[in-house]
Amino acid sequence: MLTGLSSFARVAKPWSFEQARNLLARLLRVRLSGGERDLAASLIAEGKIDQALTALPALRKPVLFQTGYGASGLPHIGTFNEVARTTMVRAAFRALTEEAIPTRLISFSDDMDGLRKVPENVPNRELLARDLGKPLTQVRDPFGEFDSFGAHNNARMRAFLDEQGFDYEFLSSTACYREGRFDPTLRLMLERFDQVQAVMLPTLGPERRATYSPFLPISPTTGRVLQVPTLERHPDRGAIVFEDEDGSLKETPVTGGAVKLQWKPDWACRWAAFGVDYEMAGKDLIESVKVSSRICTILDGVPPEGFNFELFLDQDNQKISKSKGNGLTLEEWRRYGPPESLVYYLFQSPRSAKKLYFDVIPKATDEYLQQLDAYNSPKAPPSGDEARIANPLDNPVWSIHGGAPPERGSPVSFGLLLNLVSAANASERAILWGFIARQFPGATPESEPLLDRLTDYALHYYEDFVAPTKLFRAPDPRERAAMQDLLVRLKAMPTDCHDGELIQNEVYGAGKDAGFEPLRAWFTALYEVLLGQSQGPRFGSFVAIFGLAETIALIEKALAGVDLAAESV
């Protein structure tokens, strides 16, 4: 339950709460008259949500959030992003309104679009090539698993949303058109055809402007979605006339799934037909949002609240594309990191361009774990005049978990696990748990479920990305002397010592006495000589979990010139 949080939500700093407050202001503006609006604003500001809803029944109508998904290619993280971020705004809105105003979230698939080009990352591409131009729900599935390519992509997207536990309603464009859910709005668009054209035509080039129509008929002879002019309009019977691919003139109703709309009018149609209150979009769609908003108004709708997020880039800083298959897939992130870390990554700085490639996963995972620890062990507020209660809604994990973050994180960081895999030459979880249990007596996969999952991710990530790039080197004379000093210090410690701070102090001491300035160069040397990489977690913590004896043996091998690269294969 998210009740009792409105006072925190009204001042929470994250962008999702800013959006929730904007959405609430929109509801007051759209649903209430001037005097009612002032009353509602006053009561809500005082935290009297129930009183506002009792006095103003119009506010009790469910608030509708919508996300859109293009089913023309395999779903990637960019498509998952809209549901994740919109769910964050929805959770913030529920906290802001004490859950008194019901909400719904629609995940809408544009699966009636015609297939324009064959994706590069699917099998049996020649099969898809024969279905170019047909609605995605009529294109054969190249994987041979579903009735259509659209159904295949819808199923993959829904599976990931379901696994993440999102609360949403899935809607198919094909089903909505065929079942008549858009029919009244389609008839209205036909009646106001010239007004829609007046908005659209100035946005097009001369060639396309000459043949443009918001209606795309489905050819009764070929089954393809046709981009052809509307030759005649008959609003009285809800029909248009167009030239079919065989050259014959055909009359077809605009209802019942016989046509679909061009995408900007289609977007506006959904907003007006469903009464969408909130939908976000990528920065590249700013002008499209403006155009669709004008058409929505023509259709007697009110454009939704929303904001524009920056685009996702691949490792070469190119925009992610479903047809190219560049960037990360949902399945790939799930192989190398927990879904929570993905949602955390999406939560951060949505107005900044984000790189979506494998190397962001470890950092995102450890930052998520740090935030979870901070949420579950908040620092005491300062005393005196500056004392104030910390706002729990400012921590990203509140939004990531919809107001119910888990009470336990992981006692071991993901980066530390990666180095443990490397140093121990581990190939299975049992090896890692042998080290973990020694550092944390009583810890088991059952008592530490998140850590248990992290061990799998670390094994996969190390095998695919770390091991192939490891590059060991020999220490230079100063580094060798410092490591010999470190050996003496470690051998002087109790053999059963697992105190990471105590060990870290000795590591610091060896580096300082050797004259390393800054000390970062000393730690880089340790990582490169012992682990074959330039970065790693806190070295004392690594030694504590790997073991003093094992670390001593590792350093001795390095100083003796043993080929650590060969041993780590």
Residue from 151, 218, 145, 222 nearest 178 by CA = 218
Structure tokens at 347: 């939560």
Query: What is the Cα–Cα distance from 372 to 359, expressed in whole angstroms?
Result: 21
Query: How far is it, in rounded angstroms, from Cα 480 to Cα 487?
Result: 10
pLDDT of 387: 47
Q: The tokens 């016989």 sit on which residue?
A: 258
How far CA 148 is from CA of 238, 263, 525, in Å, comes to 30, 21, 55
Q: Under DSSP, is residue 136 helix (H, G, I), strand (E, B) or coil?
A: coil
Query: What is the Cα–Cα distance from 229 to 10, expressed in whole angstroms?
Result: 51
Q: Nearest 5°: phi and psi at 345?
A: -60, -40
What is the pLDDT at residue 388? 59
Question: Which residues, listed in sequence order, are joined to residue 313 by a DSSP beta bridge?
Answer: 319, 355
Domain limits of the chain? 205-261, 414-569
The C-alpha atoms of residue 494 and residue 150 are separated, in whole angstroms, by: 63
Give me the CATH code for the 414-569 domain, please.
1.10.10
Helix (H, G, I), strand (E, B), or coil: what is residue 69?
A: strand
Reported pTM = 0.90
Listing DSSP states for 81-135 in one string gives HHHHHHHHHHHHHHHHTTT-S-EEEEEEE-TTSB--S--SSSS-HHHHHTTTTSB
Profile the chain (569 residues) by mean pLDDT over runs of 10 residues. 84 96 93 88 81 84 94 79 95 93 96 93 92 96 96 91 91 98 98 98 95 97 97 98 97 98 97 98 94 98 95 74 64 92 94 86 96 88 58 96 94 93 87 91 94 96 90 94 96 92 95 93 94 87 92 94 69
3-state secondary structure 422-450: HHHCCCCHHHHHHHHHHHCCCCCCCCCHH
Is cis: bond before 518, omega within 30 of 0? yes
C-alpha to C-alpha distance for 426 and 222, rounded to whole angstroms:
57
Q: Residue 323: what pLDDT?
A: 53
pLDDT number for residue 50: 80
CA dihedral for 417, 418, 422, 426, sign (positive or negative): positive
3-state secondary structure 304-363: CECCEECCEECCCCCECCCCCCCCCEHHHHHHHCCHHHHHHHHHCCCCCCEECCHHHHHH
Pairing mode of beta strands 215-217, 169-172: unpaired
